[in-house]
């Protein structure tokens, strides 16, 4: 059983979040410290701690995550100009919350990805 994170509390509506999309498989809400005009986190409704923990059983929900990301980008009006989708993994990836999430970042030119 994966450890609870702050995102579990958001899913259960125990703490507030600016939710922009939710269905039976994924939930999307605005990042509390946005790095760009649009910064949305899209998460599965169950906890996969990191990208290392992904398995075949997660295939459909993670595919759905991409479909929802594209829908939100359209709704935010950033699809045509473009945006960045990021999944951080563990210490070197800069992961802070151990409930797998996709960052959808856009609304300004993001430049080349710096590593």
Catalytic residues, by residue number, are 101
Indicate whether 97 belongs to the interface with ligand 5GP (CB under 6 A): yes
CB 50, CB 89: distance < 8 Å: yes
Region from 19-27, 72-80, 89-97, 104-112 binding ligand 5GP, contact rule CB under 6 A: 89-97
What residues contact 24, with CB distance under 8 A and at least 6 apart?
45
Indicate whether 95 belongs to the interface with ligand 5GP (CB under 6 A): yes
Indicate whether 56 belongs to the interface with ligand 5GP (CB under 6 A): no
- Edge to edge, the sheet with strand 19-22 lists 19-22, 26-30, 38-44, 102-106, 83-86
Q: Point out which residues bind ligand 5GP (CB under 6 A).
A: 6, 17, 29-33, 41, 88, 94-97
């Amino acid at each position: 059983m994966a450890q609870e994170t702050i995102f579990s509390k958001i899913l259960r509506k125990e703490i507030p979040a600016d939710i922009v999309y939710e269905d039976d498989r994924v939930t999307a809400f605005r990042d509390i410290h946005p790095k760009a005009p649009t910064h949305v986190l899209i998460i599965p409704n169950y906890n996969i701690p990191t990208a290392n923990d992904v398995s075949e059983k997660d295939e459909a929900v993670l595919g759905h995550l991409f479909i929802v990301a594209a829908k939100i980008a359209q709704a935010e009006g950033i699809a045509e100009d473009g945006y960045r989708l990021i999944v951080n993994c563990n210490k070197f990836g800069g992961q802070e919350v151990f409930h797998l999430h996709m960052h959808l970042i856009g609304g300004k030119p993001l430049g080349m990805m710096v590593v």
